[in-house]
Amino acid sequence: MEKLRLDEKEIKEGAALGALSYVFFLWILFFLFKKDNRFAHYHARQGLVIFIGEILCFFFPLIPLIGAVLYHLGELILIIFSLYGIYSSLTGKMCHIPIVTNIASKIVI
- Residue 87 CB neighbour total at 10 angstroms: 13
Residue 1: inside a domain, yes or no? no
Task: Tell me what the mean pLDDT of segment 22-42 comes to.
Answer: 85
**Which of 56, 45, 47 has its CA nearest to residue 1?**
45
- Does the model's pTM come out above 0.85? yes
Q: Going along 35-109, which residue ranges are E strands?
A: none
Range of the domain at 46: 8-104
Residue 3: inside a domain, yes or no? no
Question: Is the Cβ–Cβ distance between 31 and 87 less than 8 Å?
Answer: no
Share of the chain above pLDDT 70, in %: 96
Count: domains in the chain: 1
**Selected residue with higher pLDDT from 36 and 100:** 100
**Which of 67, 7, 62, 65 has its CA nearest to residue 37?**
7
- Residue 74 CB neighbour total at 10 angstroms: 16
